[in-house]
Amino acid sequence: MDLPVQQFRTKAEQAYLDLFEAAENALPGARDSFVAGLRANAIETYGRLGLPHRRIEAWKYTDLRTRLTDVNPLGKGEGVAVSEAALSGALGAELANLPAYRLVIVEGDLRADLSDLAGLKAAGVEAVSLARALEKPPAWLKKALAQINPRDDDAMIALNTALMTGGVGLQIGNGVILDKPIHLIQLDGKGDPASIFTRNVVVAEPGSAATVLESFGGLGLHAPQRNAVTELRIGAEAAIKHFKVQRERDDAFHLSTWLVELGPDARYDAFQFSTGAALARNQVYLHFAGEGAAADISGAFLLRARQHCDTTLLIEHRVPHCTSRELFKAVLDGESRGVFQGKIIVSPGAQKTDGKQMAGALLLSETAEFDSKPELEIFADDVICGHGATSGQIDEDLLFYLEARGIPEEEARALLIQAFVGEALERVEDERLRDALGSASAAWLGISPSD
Amino acid sequence: MLEIKNLHVNVDGREILNGLDLTLPQGEVHAIMGPNGSGKSTLAYVLAGKEDYEVTAGSVTWNGEDLLAMVPSDRAVAGVFLAFQYPMEIPGVATMTFLRTAVNAVRKARGEAELSTPDFLRFVREKAAALKIEPDMLKRPLNVGFSGGEKKRNEILQMALLEPSLCVLDETDSGLDIDAVRIVAAGVNALRSPERAMLVITHYQRLLNYIVPDRVHVLSEGRVARSGGPELALELEETGYAEFGGEAA
């Protein structure tokens, strides 16, 4: 139990309260009692918890109370011109051009002109602008918003609920099997620094199957501060692949939370890839609500200079016969810091749980740091759970082997780094997406992708 | 022509090569034999340019060029190829990707055009078939899960693809059954040519039944203790390395 030790509010802490007070009456859904109630409740939770700090175990390595000193004003993405060239610039051409149902969200504003809403509707997916839907939420959204794997102990989720300005709501119909991914392109705007609070709610009805790709990039906004939450409910026997690609500016603050609930015999395959932001925190809270479900949450992050990236997972096995897998790879150069915290909780009665996690880091400099904290809390007696962590430098013997075959040292190093990341990328089944991530890794390494 | 003169090499502060002299003319195959610890593998690594092998005296030239001044990748470009005793496993790098990267790196550095994908695939398939390497093996991560024989055949495949002028084979027969030795030896023999010199390092005479050398050198305590024709290998098979400071072979 973490005791409240907050004595005073920091400037940033207070700034969020001020932001809410100033914007409250203009936020989407201000006149809807359900939405206004959610927001009021959330800001109260935030006020009670304050910004997370290092004495809270889950935030041990990412002390927002210290690191967040200034808070940007709320961003409004309306009217920002977005060209195809700008999309390619923000995400890389391969990713931007991936065949998909594209939904483009600029600072929370779902841009109908750039989005394939009609295509999604024809394919059996109800897609709505969250900003608009909050004004008068449809019944399905009311049953999902802030209710999928909800938490009352996370100040940053509460802050998102209080201040969410937009995003998308997706309802994937019963038995609908999509032929191509839904690509949520989430951009920051241009010009002045802004705080961006986006919220996506995805409900996959029973028996449906879809890929949801969330990509984050910048159009040129200085030091954007993003707090993005995606709620995802996966119904019985539904199968969802969920990807995240984060290539934001190196001065960005990026906080992302996925709240996931799996129904019986559901399947969830998630992969997170991250090279951007000065400070990034990727949280995934997942719980198994029905027997026989399986989840794989994997990812890779590549950091340099003074970048900080924290991946924190909480997997809760509340019912028997579920399987969870995690594999994360970190490449750390310069004075960067990578954090991996993976917690698996197996409730009493969640027998036959099978949970495994693995995290590995490749340190390219003497000053890079990797903190790995696996935690298993097991309250059932017939389970298989395990974890592992590795951390090391490039193997000189492997390097020599490649050099002895005529591959110059720099290229050989890059190949070994790609190989390290490649072990995680193998989890991505979609070949085009895997190639796009491979190219993104190559771009990070400063090498042009091979044809 | 490979010329090694008075080569002294330290590893971890211990002198392993101790005034080694060796001349290997173009087009010839020489065997290096000797007891364990006589410096055979050290010689192989020094020629390929492995770090941590400190040359304290002497010289090594290949066709008049100073090999010791070159980084490992430049030696490969200059024609040096080391077939490793223990080839490295690299998860995450497909064998085919590795082969193509290596071949094109060497071709580029030699001022030759890089091979197009179809040309490269044809080139690899042809050489792989001769070594009885299944196409499926080339899709797997480099050497990962390969048997001992598969790893060694993969080394010879790389040798065939990189078209070196100086081949150094370090204990290529170790850990192989007789059928695998035959395949590997046939692969090596196919590469014998007047433009290519080979140094075959082996503890046992067995391999030399299949790759018949022009000369045999016996190393002892870091230098060449005796040289002779192919018959020297047979003699060692009888007498062992006792007279060279080792146990019977």
Asked if B111 is an interface residue toward chain A (Cβ–Cβ < 8 A), one would say no
- Assess whether pLDDT exceeds 80 at residue A275: yes
Looking at residue A374, what is its pLDDT?
Answer: 92
Chain B residues in contact with A411 (beta carbon < 8 A): 101, 105
Find out whether B208 and B26 touch, Cβ atoms under 8 Å. Answer: no
- Assess whether pLDDT exceeds 90 at residue A448: no
Looking at residue A2, what is its pLDDT?
Answer: 58
Looking at residue A221, what is its pLDDT?
Answer: 80
For a pLDDT cut of 90, what percent of chain A falls above it? 86
- The count of other CB atoms within 10 Å of the CB of residue B56 is 11
Report the residue from B50, B87, B105 with minimal CB separation from A408.
B105
* Largest interatomic CA distance in chain B: 55
Q: Using CA coordinates, name the residue in chain B closest to A410.
A: B73
Looking at residue A451, what is its pLDDT?
Answer: 35
Find out whether A377 and B47 touch, Cβ atoms under 8 Å. Answer: no
Asked if B68 is an interface residue toward chain A (Cβ–Cβ < 8 A), one would say no
Report the residue from A397, A398, A406 with minimal CB separation from B102.
A406
Please state whether B157 falls in left (phi above 0), alpha (psi between -120 and 50) or beta.
Answer: alpha
Mutate: best of A396, A402, A410, A416, partner B, most B CBs <10 A: A402
Select the more confidently predicted residue: A412 or A4: A412
Closest Cα of chain A to B222: distance in Å?
A: 23
Chain A residues in contact with B84 (beta carbon < 8 A): 401, 404
CB contact under 8 A, B91 and A423: yes
Mean pLDDT estimate for chain A? 93
Report the residue from A402, A403, A420 with minimal CB separation from B92.
A420
**Mean pLDDT of the A139-144 span:** 96
Helix (H, G, I), strand (E, B) or coil at A176: coil
**Inter-chain contacts counted by CB atoms under 8 A, chains A and B:** 80
Looking at residue B243, what is its pLDDT?
Answer: 82
- Assess whether pLDDT exceeds 90 at residue A445: no
CB contact under 8 A, A396 and B51: yes
Give the integer Cα–Cα distance in Å for A156 and A16: 11
**Mean pLDDT of the A231-241 span:** 98
Residue A217 C-alpha from the chain's centroid: 13
CB contact under 8 A, B92 and A423: yes
Confidence of residue A76 (pLDDT cuts 50, 70, 90): confident
CB contact under 8 A, B105 and A401: no
Q: Using CA coordinates, name the residue in chain A closest to B44.
A: A404
CB contact under 8 A, B105 and A416: no
Find out whether B152 and B184 touch, Cβ atoms under 8 Å. Answer: yes
Chain B residues in contact with A409 (beta carbon < 8 A): 71, 73
- The count of other CB atoms within 10 Å of the CB of residue A395 is 14
Confidence of residue A195 (pLDDT cuts 50, 70, 90): very high
- The whole-number mean pLDDT for each consecutive block of 10 residues of chain B, a chain of 249 residues, reads 97 94 97 93 96 95 96 97 96 91 95 92 93 91 92 95 96 90 93 96 92 96 94 89 69
**Mean pLDDT of the A135-141 span:** 96
Q: Using CA coordinates, name the residue in chain B closest to A408.
A: B73
Q: Let me know the angle formed at the C-alpha of A341 by A336 and A342, rounded to the nearest 5 degrees.
A: 145
**Mean pLDDT of the A16-36 span:** 96
Confidence of residue A81 (pLDDT cuts 50, 70, 90): confident
CB contact under 8 A, A406 and B50: no
